[in-house]
Structure 1
Amino acid sequence: MKKKIGLLYGGKSAEHEVSLSTAKAVTQALNFEEYEVHPVFITMDGEWLIGPRLTAPVDTIDQLQFGSNKTPNNMINFIQAHNESPFDVIFPLLHGTNGEDGTVQGLLEVMNVPYVGNGVLASAAGMDKVIMKQLFEIAGLAQTPYIYFTRSEWESDQEGILAKCVELKAPLFVKPANLGSSVGISKAMTREELIAAIKVAFQYDRKIIVEQGVAGREVEMGVLGNDKPRTSVAGEIKPVTEFYDYDSKYKDGSTALIIPAELPDTVVSKMSEMAKSAFKILDCSGIVRADFFVTANEEVVINEVNTMPGFTPSSMYPLLWQHTGVSYPELIDQLIGLALERHAEKQKLQYNKD
């Protein structure tokens, strides 16, 4: 029998369009002889809608967007009426808040349905850059100096916060604590640029982080697995712009990706060790992309992990695995298998004292 796959995409997030592109790519790689594919679209208003079953890959993202008048079922109502999920496994293809941050994962846990990727804790901690860095510190992972603060703290003590920022060495990178795809991130060299960057970041989150820049190569590595994760080859990013921003990732195609990265085996081994350590300290499962800086003297500094990295065939994570010997369709199959494996393990847990 075919496995019933619910492709969950869209979302009430600044990365809504990125998610649609990912969903389109996944439909083009899924084996429709093996999977029964159902689109589950979350609108920008946060409404969950189940569309007609897909019998072939979609050609445009317009085919993945539909309104209530075209939709046979609202997912939440369907589940309440049937007291079960209509799917064997959910494949969340959501980026950013309200999808990659543990919120949707929590709902899927309550529904007790298998789903691809990281659980509640890993998703939430991986989305919040501050919590992530605090956990990295516990794990003893080398990282760049940083400070963080909330909007209320900024409003009550701007000069004090700016003084702390000055203690970091420019360039500084100002980021919303909870967002991905480089949305809301700015580079600052001067006090004026820093203040402007903070204002931009606060448009996307109530908490922001200011990091000291690292003079080094940007290198990434994929992690795949559950309790025994394995790592891919390393890949280097060489953006034409000052840093790897949203446009570089998704629009202008100007960034060069060098896979495998030209690095000594000792550096790649260190990255692999650190990537697995980060994966485990966050209690990750399924999929993670670990991002690093490698300095001129071959010091490895972890920047962050992404618990739902870009997932089109041209995205770094699938490309890293392609160069490791795992094709895009095979990667999707393995992630689905890991989701079912993790869910089966959870079903062994006992929820009463007897």
Structure 2
Amino acid sequence: MEKIRLAVIFGGNSSEYPVSLHSVASVLRSLDKDKYELILLPIDRDGVWYYYNGDIDILEHDHWKEHPSTRHAVFSPSAKEGVYILDDAEVQRMEIDCVLPILHGKNGEDGTLQGLLELSTIPYVGCNHVSSAISMDKDYTHIICEAAGIPMAPYISLLSCEEIDYDALIDEVDEKLTLPLFVKPANAGSSFGITKVDDYKDLQDAVQFAFEYDKKVIIETGIDGFEVGCAVLGNNELVVGEIDEIDTHNNFFDYDAKYELENTQILCPARVDTVISDEVKELTKKIFRILGGSGLARVDMFVTKDSEIYFNEINTIPGFTSASRYPSMMKAVGVEFPELLDRLIALAME
């Protein structure tokens, strides 16, 4: 059988660049080389595209740029044109059957890359550009899901282009929300730029910190409960993984808790009864449909002591090491990591 020419795009001009390198290294070690001809396209922190044909360990430890195989690359938006590999002597065009984007956060998970891929008419893994953009922007996610009756934490949004009167902001927050608060960049992942606020005197610093990561910031009421997640796989027919639970003793599920498991453990399956588990799974599928999802996503929610469920956020390209939450939840329902990758690529090429 002829191999599928699979372009794997990773890195990116995003604060989550190092997360992408760890994810893609795990993916590359698990892809069946008898099925796929791999074309590796790293993007550096400045947004410059390259072609790389070296060792996975070198890539994972961020030394790929010094490797002798590394050359500049241009991904064409022209239909079915593929990618051009550039060096001093020649230009080489490589055709592509499918794209596997392993980028997290801005410029990779927010619809920008997906728009380019749709112009190219080359199939790609994951949600389309509209779904990706809506899912990445926590403000738009709130607006659409709340309109569809999905329970979410009360919130307000702020724009950096508007002058903020912090005394007036505190009055508005006090009227509409409840302490503790979570102040977040509207478009960021991996808990970058997030602050938990227990006292209004800390609100201004939290907002200014969040604005370092995005031009839009949201302020949410903190939900008194624990966080669970659910993996979803599919286009028309959906498969959901086992739900997991975050047990953290940090102030919240921050970057160190996520990637170093500092004072944190991930429990799969979650310590909830069947009724809650089934409700989370059904709500996951509903949210995925509402936001126009395809391929995959991880949906995160809170469960309160009164068994109320609140939608927190959706990740359209979740962490993708073999031990990450999404693959672990799918493994718990019998889908091993190599099979998961095969199914995602098949879904992209339907």
Common fold: TM-score over 0.5: yes
- The question of 1:333 aligning with 2:336 is answered no
Deviations 1:145-168 (A, max 9, x none): 111111133x24332222111231
User: Normalized against structure 1, the TM-score is what?
Assistant: 0.90
Alignment partner of 1:25 is 2:49? no
Q: d(CA) in 2 for partners of 1:7 and 1:125?
A: 24
1:82–1:334 Cα change, 3 Å:
closer
Aligned to 1:123: 132
- Conserved 8 A contact 1:28-1:58: no
1:228 — aligned with what? 237
Q: Would you say 1:12 and 2:13 are equivalent positions? A: yes
For structure 2, which runs of at least 5 residues remain unmatched after alignment? 84-94
Whether the aligned pair in 1 keeps the contact of 2:246 and 2:266 (CA below 8 Å) is: yes
Q: What is the letter of the counterpart of residue 109 of structure 1?
A: E
Match of 1:144 in 2: 153
Q: Distance in 1 between matches of 2:80 and 2:261?
A: 46
The alpha-carbon distance between structure 1 residues 81 and 214, as it changes in their structure 2 partners (threshold 3 A), is: closer
Residues 139, 277 of structure 1: 8 Å contact kept = no
- The 1:27/1:83 distance shift into structure 2, 3 A limit, reads closer
Write the distance in 1 (CA, Å) between the matches of 2:42 and 2:71.
Answer: 12
Alpha carbons of structure 1 residues 80 and 286: separation in structure 2 relative to 1, 3 Å: closer
- 1:43 maps to 44
Q: What SS does the aligned partner of 1:136 have?
A: helix
Counterpart in the other structure of 2:88:
none
TM-score (norm 2): 0.91
CA distance in 1 between counterparts of 2:270 and 2:129 reads 32
2:65 is matched with 66
Q: Is 1:177 aligned to 2:186, yes or no?
A: yes
Q: Number of residue pairs matched?
A: 337
- State which of 166, 170, 175 in structure 2 corresponds to 1:158: 166
- Report deviation, 1:57: 5.2
Q: Is the 8 A contact 1:177 1:205 kept in 2?
A: yes
Which amino acid in 2 is paired with 1:340?
M
Percent identity of paired positions between Structure 1 and Structure 2? 39
For the aligned residue pairs, the C-alpha RMSD in angstroms reads 2.0
Question: Is the CA contact (8 Å cut-off) linking 1:102 and 1:120 kept in structure 2?
Answer: yes
Q: Is contact 2:64-2:70 (8 Å) kept? A: no
Report if aligned partners of 1:9, 1:41 keep a CA contact under 8 Å in 2.
yes
| Structure richer in helix, relative to its length | 1
Q: 1:111 to 1:80 in 2, by over 3 A?
A: closer
Give the match for residue 315 of structure 1. 324
SS, match of residue 41 in structure 1: strand
CA contact (8 A) 1:49 1:68 kept: no
Q: What is the alpha-carbon distance in structure 2 between the residues aligned to residue 83 and residue 57 of structure 1? A: 27
Deviates further, 83-92 or 273-282: 83-92
Q: Contact 2:79–2:121 (CA<8 Å) still a contact in 1? A: no
**Offset of residue 17 of structure 1:** 0.6
Q: Which runs of 4+ in 1 moved over 6 A?
A: 79-82
Structure 1 segments unaligned to the other structure (5+ residues): 342-354
Deviation at 1:183, TM superposition (A): 0.5
1:251 offset after TM fit, Å?
Answer: 2.9
SS at match of 2:46: coil
SS at match of 1:18: helix
Alpha-carbon distance, 1:199 to partner:
1.1
Listed one character per residue, the Cα deviations across residues 208-242 of structure 1 (whole Å, up to 9, x for unaligned) are 00010111111110011012222111100011211
